[in-house]
Amino acid sequence: MKTLWEKGIETPEAVTRFTVGNDAQWDTRLAPYDITGSIAHVQMLGKIGLLTKQETDTLTIALDALRQKILDRELEIGEGAEDIHSLVELLLSRELGDLGKKIHAGRSRNDQVMTDIHLYLKDVCRQIAREVRSLFDLLQEKGRQYKDVLMPGYTHERPAMPSSFGLWIGSYAEILVDDIHQLTAAFLQCDQNPLGSAAGYGNSFPLDREETTRLMGFGTLKYNSIAAQMSRGRTERSLAYAMASLAGTLNKLAADCCLFSGPDFGFIDFPESLTTGSSIMPHKKNPDVWELIRARCNVIQGVPGQITLVCTNLSHGYHRDFQVLKDLLFPAIDSMIECLHMTGLLIEQIKMNGSLFEDSRYDQLFTVEKVNRLVLEGIPFRDAYRKVASSLQDGSYRADKEICHTHTGSIGNPEFDQVSQKMERALFTILSEVVRE
């Protein structure tokens, strides 16, 4: 197996397998970004005179051809190379001879890996943001559709006050704005170019790091070479925290939907095609998809802690421990995107029960409305409270189910338009199409 660090000393196969780990599997997704970074590096080497224009053009054309093979799924990391970085250099050397070997001048595999990961995670942030926006739009649509349909609001898992389906489902839309703020923080951390930091201490070549930053579309440099290396682990953890925040939102929505779709509540319903049955109970309509979303999101919420533990007690500079981060973060990314997609599929088919308050069990939810009416008539709040409490005790209470909530963010005024504007502002940094000069 070809490695970038081999020095002519034979390494036991077991050691090679152990140190390579799952790189061949995970580097497949990093491959296009490795080409992007390599092209930027080559063009920068040409600009500073370490490569001639002909050499620069030849390498760029060869790298573009490799990129196309990657996109066409014609390139695999096989026995000849341990990862995408060694594979690219190996293939260029086979095609171009000594010229192919020049591509590594001025960089280390350390900053090469970090550059790939930063570029990849930027795209992950964009992909998650697009999925969140789609889910947000669905939640807003359902909120508007069911804005005037009342449902019980809960505290302490007991019926408390009148709410509405629009207010309930719209709450998850607005919470997604907060999740996008977290994702934006992760995006900005990824949007710093580490290329040129080499093994963490730069090198004696007159590298033009501003040029590679521009060519790869990074917002800025990670200027200090050591700081660039110390971003390994921190960048992954930042995205993991953002995903954990989003997973927490989906988890709570899943828990609500599992509970509210059950026959004891009957607040909402989903088509049988989106539920599962029982092997022995013909009547069952189980919310397995929601339950799996709930469980997977709990797993995702644990990833920041795992990454933190891997990176704990490490002195500054590169450590091979960081290789394990791919095993933790990359599957979580896939699971996060799948959970978002499945949540959208379920929300699209949700049906609300519009006749809940015909049931007398919910009459007491309107006691606060009664208290407030008495206050509006001039009775002090505490006296009004005691009066309604007494009517509950002596059995004279009668529910008046006409409610009028008009303040911002209430049942009658959920401010869907304002929430949509918040989301558009939140998404701007990640999904802006502004091309950096």
Interval 1-43: pLDDT, tens: 445 445 556 767 777 677 666 767 788 899 999 999 999 999 9
Q: What's the CA gap between 23 and 319, in Å, rounded? A: 15
Q: What's the CA gap between 197 and 226, in Å, rounded? A: 7
Residues 272 and 340 in one domain: yes
Residues 173 and 151 in one domain: yes
Residues 29 and 145 in one domain: no
Sign of CA dihedral 131, 132, 138, 141: negative
CATH at 46: 1.10.275.10
Looking at the domain assignment, is residue 333 inside a domain? Answer: yes
Tens of pLDDT, residues 176-199: 999 999 999 999 999 999 999 999
Residues 155 and 300 in one domain: yes
- The answer on pLDDT for 246 being more than 90 is yes
Question: φ, ψ for residue 353 (rounded to 5)?
Answer: -85, 115
Domain boundary among 105, 139, 155: 105
The stretches of 191-233 forming alpha helices (DSSP H) are 209-216, 225-230
Looking at the domain assignment, is residue 436 inside a domain? Answer: no
Looking at the domain assignment, is residue 96 inside a domain? Answer: yes
Residues in the chain: 437
Tens of pLDDT, residues 123-178: 999 999 999 999 999 999 999 999 999 999 999 999 999 999 999 999 999 999 99
Query: Residue 87: which residues within 8 A CB-CB, separation 6 or more?
Result: 2, 75, 77, 80, 81
Domain boundary among 80, 105, 130: 105
For 373-394, give the DSSP string: HHHHTT--HHHHHHHHHHHHHH
- Number of structural domains, the chain? 3
Q: Is 81 helix (H, G, I), strand (E, B) or coil?
A: strand
Looking at the domain assignment, is residue 1 inside a domain? Answer: no
Q: What is the mean pLDDT of residues 395-410?
A: 89
The percent of residues in the chain predicted with pLDDT above 90, rounded, is 79
- Can you give the pLDDT at residue 434? 44
Cα distances (Å, whole numbers) of residue 15 to 12, 20, 22, 110, 320: 5, 8, 13, 20, 13
- Can you give the pLDDT at residue 9? 64
- The answer on pLDDT for 436 being more than 80 is no
Closest CA to 329 of 194, 249, 238, 246: 238
| Inter-residue contact 135 to 88 (CB < 8 Å) | no
Q: What's the CA gap between 207 and 55, in Å, rounded? A: 17
What token pair was written down for 107?
């960089």
Residues 45 and 78 in one domain: yes
Residues 389 and 419 in one domain: no
| Inter-residue contact 98 to 400 (CB < 8 Å) | no
Looking at the domain assignment, is residue 347 inside a domain? Answer: yes
- Identify the band that residue 277 occupies on the pLDDT scale cut at 50, 70 and 90: low
Give the other-Cβ count within 10 Å of 402's Cβ.
Answer: 8
Residues 279 and 367 in one domain: no
CATH at 116: 1.20.200.10
- Can you give the pLDDT at residue 433? 53
Residues 134 and 62 in one domain: no
Cβ burial, residue 244 (10 Å; 0-12/13-18/19+): buried
Angle value at C-alpha 398, between 393 and 404, nearest 5 degrees: 120
* H or E element that contains 114: helix 109-145
Beta bridge partners of 220: 192
Domain that holds residue 308: 110-358+407-431
3-state helix, strand, coil in the chain (%, to 5): 65, 5, 30
Q: Which amino acid, 423?
A: M
Residues 74 and 125 in one domain: no
Closest CA to 301 of 235, 251, 231: 251
Beta bridge partners of 351: 269
Residue with tokens 């828990």: 255
- The answer on pLDDT for 385 being more than 70 is yes
Q: Is 347 helix (H, G, I), strand (E, B) or coil?
A: helix
Looking at the domain assignment, is residue 437 inside a domain? Answer: no
Cβ burial, residue 250 (10 Å; 0-12/13-18/19+): buried
Looking at the domain assignment, is residue 7 inside a domain? Answer: no
Residues 165 and 77 in one domain: no
- The answer on pLDDT for 76 being more than 50 is yes
Residues 231 and 345 in one domain: yes
- The answer on pLDDT for 79 being more than 70 is no
- Identify the band that residue 282 occupies on the pLDDT scale cut at 50, 70 and 90: low
- The answer on pLDDT for 297 being more than 60 is yes
Residues 262 and 165 in one domain: yes
* H or E element that contains 161: strand 158-164
Q: Is 74 helix (H, G, I), strand (E, B) or coil?
A: coil
Domain boundary among 51, 70, 105: 105
Q: Which amino acid, 350?
A: I
- Identify the band that residue 437 occupies on the pLDDT scale cut at 50, 70 and 90: very low
Looking at the domain assignment, is residue 267 inside a domain? Answer: yes
Question: What average pLDDT does the chain have?
Answer: 91
- The answer on pLDDT for 344 being more than 80 is yes
Question: φ, ψ for residue 55 (rounded to 5)?
Answer: -65, -40
Give the other-Cβ count within 10 Å of 224's Cβ.
Answer: 13
The stretches of 261-323 forming alpha helices (DSSP H) are 288-311
